[in-house]
Amino acid sequence: MLTKTKCAAAIIALGTLSVAGVLHAQNKKPVDIVTVVKITGMSWFNRMEVGVKEFGAANVGVVNARQIGPAQSDAAQQQRLVEDLVAKKVDAIAVVSMDPLTLEPVLKRALDRGIKVVTHEADNQKNTLVDIEAFDNTAYGARLNERLAECMGKTGKWSSLLGSLGSQSQVQWADGGANNAKKYPKMTLVDAKNETANDAEKAYGKAKEILRKHPDIKGFQGSSSLDVLGIGRAIEEAGLTGKICVYGTGLPSEAAKFLESGAVGGIAFWDPKDAGIMMNKAALMLVQGKTITNGMDMGVPGYNAVTVKKGPGVGIIVTGKAWVEVDKSNYKKYAF
């Protein structure tokens, strides 16, 4: 009886591993590039995986591209995944760091072992060869403001909202917008950089306050993806749809309602799919011994003329202009 159960237990355990073996793709010769994301199963990284797979499909036989990520949102789990990849000695690791600092030693070991390392959204990472940034934050903010200015006819009062003053990128977007507006003397910025705590409800409250204080306001620029939702709702309720221009960062799925009604003029975001393709492309170039140079056309939307500068460590930082601008007419193309 005892041995019987033990045998059964052993068979189940062995079965587990054999299922694992079936799932395991056969070893191929092509360049092995693994993209490690912060967490699996989140729509943002699912979209990135689309890009990774697309890159793999476009380079069948040349690369073997795949994406993995921890099941829990934990820097420790991501670190372990990378650790195992280093032990496995893949050709290249492309990682979206949960926490750049935590990964430094393990990425250093990867580089020491001759593995090419590419990172994304980690311009402070030292142990990387290429860091990919979707865009320059100031330029992104300026571009949002340019669209706002066109809508406002380059005259009138406008205000800016952001998630939190502690978020460096959002502050840079708001400041980039403010600098752009200085080009137009008739545009006045009032009550700049209202904090909305990354909360659509707070953004709604702030927008209502501003509407009361400045009845003649003509435009809003949002930074957090939830800002436009709050502003849009406030404007709809005040019956000012179409009279006030609203532009900001947003996700098509969330902002759809306000884009349809016209309360929000347009949104911008960046597409993780393109970032996924771009990381893998950079990794492949590293393996092939090619370098990315300033102004190079990477053949990925938004990365047609990249800016290259030296990073904090051995590597370079490659910056694109990979923001996507949508309005009522074309937001449906992006299903996330």
Partner 1 sequence: MKRQFSDPQLNFLVGINVLILVAATVLSHGDFLDVYNFQSMASQLPELALLAIGVSLAMIAGNGGIDLSGLGMANLAGVVAATVVPLLVDADATPWGYTGMFVVVALVTGLLGGLLNGWLIAGVGLTPILCTLGTQLIFTGAAVVLSKGSSVRLASAEPMSMIGNENLFGVPIPFIIFMVVLLAIGWLLRYSPFGIRLFLLGTNAKAARYAGIPGTRMLVTTYALCGVLASLAGVIIAARTASVKADYGSSYLLIAILVAVMAGVRPQGGYGRMVCLFFSATALQLLSSTFNLLDISNFFRDCAWGLLLLCFLASARINLADYRLFTPRKSATLAQSPPGSTNK
∠173-174-177 over CA atoms, to 5°? Answer: 85
Q: Is 102 in the site for partner 1 (CB under 8 A)?
A: yes
Selected from 13, 62, 190, 314, the binder of partner 1 by CB under 8 A is 13
What's the closest the beta carbon of residue 27 comes to partner 1, in angstroms? 7
Q: Is 186 in the site for partner 1 (CB under 8 A)?
A: no
Q: Is 76 in the site for partner 1 (CB under 8 A)?
A: yes
What's the closest the beta carbon of residue 204 comes to partner 1, in angstroms? 26
Q: Is 335 in the site for partner 1 (CB under 8 A)?
A: no
Pick from 286, 313, 291, 294: nearest CA to 123: 313
Selected from 30, 54, 83, 155, the binder of partner 1 by CB under 8 A is 83
Instruction: Spell out, one character per residue from 245 to 264, where the chain touches partner 1: x when CB under 8 A holds, - when not.
Output: --------------------
Q: Is 168 in the site for partner 1 (CB under 8 A)?
A: no
Selected from 50, 68, 287, 296, the binder of partner 1 by CB under 8 A is 68
CA distances from 156 to 81, 148, 184, 220, 239 (A): 53, 11, 10, 11, 19
Interface with partner 1: number of residues (CB under 8 A) = 51
Helices (H), 59-196: 75-88, 100-112, 137-152, 168-181
Q: Is 69 in the site for partner 1 (CB under 8 A)?
A: yes
Query: Distance between CA atoms of 312 and 314, rounded to whole angstroms?
Result: 7
Structure tokens of 285? 């170039």
Q: What 8-state DSSP symbol labels residue 154?
A: T
Chain-centre distance for alpha carbon 270? 6
Chain-centre distance for alpha carbon 181? 26
Which residues are at the interface with partner 1 (CB under 8 A)? 1-2, 5-6, 8-10, 12-14, 16-18, 20-21, 23-25, 27, 40-41, 66, 68-77, 79-81, 83-89, 99, 101-106, 109, 113
